C-alpha cells in the first residue's frame, strides 16, 4: 500500500483524505437518520391513548424521550393543543422547517466530495501523463516500452483510487437522500394524524366530558 501511495504521487493523499472524509460523513448521517426514523403509527397510537386518558403531561414526556423529528413535531402539537387550529398548524410548520435542515445536514458536503474525487483523480492522471511525455521527450529516442507502461499505470492509479471512492460515495449520498425523504413523509403523516386527532377525536371527547 505504501509503495502504491509513493508510486501514485502526491495527488493520492488528498484523494484518500476526501475518500475517508466522505466515509465519515456517510456514517454520521446514517447513524443520525437511523435514530430519527421510528414507527410513527405505533408511536402516535400510544400518544393518542394517553391524551384520551387525560395524561397529556405523560405524552409530552414520551415525546421528549423519543429521538427524531416526528416526536418533536408531535410534542409541539401537544403543547399547543389548546391554542386553536390556526395557531397549532403555524407552530407545526415552524417546527417542521427547523427539523428539515437538521436531517439534511452534511449531505451537501458528501455530495461535494463525491463530485470532487473524480476530478482529483483526473488531475492526477493528467499530471502523470504530462510527466511521462516530458520524460519521453528527454530520453528520446532511447525510450523503452517498460518505461512507457510503468509511467502509464502510475498515471492511471490516481483515477482508479478516486473512482473507487466516488462510486460508494455517490451510492451513499442517494441512499441518505432516500432516508431523508422517507422521514419527511413520516413527518407529514404524523402532523396530519395529530391535527385530525386534536380537531376531531380529542375535541369531541372534551365536549362529551363537558
Helix 85-104 to helix 69-79 angle, to the nearest 10 degrees?
Answer: 160
Please state the rounded mean pLDDT for residues 167-177. Answer: 96
Which of 165, 196, 189 has the alpha carbon at shortest distance from 16?
165
pTM of the model: 0.81
Measured between alpha carbons, how far is 41 from 69 in angstroms, rounded to an integer?
Answer: 14
DSSP state of 157: H
Q: Is 45 helix (H, G, I), strand (E, B) or coil?
A: helix
pLDDT digits (tens, 9 = 90+) for 47-82: 999 998 888 899 999 999 999 999 999 999 999 888
pLDDT digits (tens, 9 = 90+) for 109-168: 999 999 999 999 999 888 888 877 777 666 666 555 555 666 677 778 888 999 999 999
- Residue position matching grid coordinates 437522500: 177
Residues 15, 117: contact at Cβ < 8 Å?
yes
Would you mind telling me the total number of residues written for the chain in this entry? 210
**What backbone phi and psi angles, to 5 degrees, belong to 37?**
-90, 120
Amino acid at each position: 500500500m505504501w509503495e502504491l501511495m509513493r508510486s501514485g504521487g502526491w495527488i493520492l493523499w488528498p484523494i484518500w483524505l476526501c475518500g475517508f472524509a466522505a466515509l465519515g460523513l456517510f456514517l454520521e448521517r446514517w447513524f443520525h437518520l437511523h435514530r430519527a426514523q421510528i414507527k410513527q403509527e405505533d408511536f402516535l397510537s400510544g400518544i393518542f391513548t394517553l391524551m384520551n386518558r387525560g395524561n397529556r403531561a405523560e405524552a409530552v414526556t414520551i415525546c421528549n424521550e423519543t429521538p427524531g423529528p416526528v416526536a418533536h413535531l408531535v410534542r409541539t402539537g401537544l403543547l399547543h393543543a389548546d391554542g386553536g387550529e390556526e395557531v397549532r398548524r403555524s407552530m407545526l410548520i415552524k417546527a417542521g422547517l427547523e427539523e428539515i435542515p437538521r436531517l439534511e445536514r452534511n449531505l451537501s458536503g458528501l455530495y461535494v466530495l463525491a463530485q470532487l474525487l473524480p476530478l482529483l483523480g483526473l488531475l492526477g492522471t493528467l499530471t502523470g501523463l504530462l510527466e511521462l511525455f516530458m520524460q519521453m521527450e528527454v530520453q528520446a529516442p532511447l525510450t523503452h516500452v517498460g518505461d512507457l507502461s510503468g509511467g502509464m499505470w502510475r498515471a492511471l492509479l490516481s483515477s482508479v483510487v478516486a473512482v473507487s471512492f466516488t462510486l460508494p460515495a455517490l451510492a451513499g449520498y442517494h441512499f441518505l437522500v432516500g432516508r431523508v425523504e422517507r422521514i419527511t413523509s413520516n413527518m407529514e403523516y404524523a402532523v396530519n394524524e395529530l391535527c385530525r386527532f386534536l380537531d376531531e377525536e380529542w375535541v369531541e371527547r372534551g365536549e362529551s366530558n363537558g
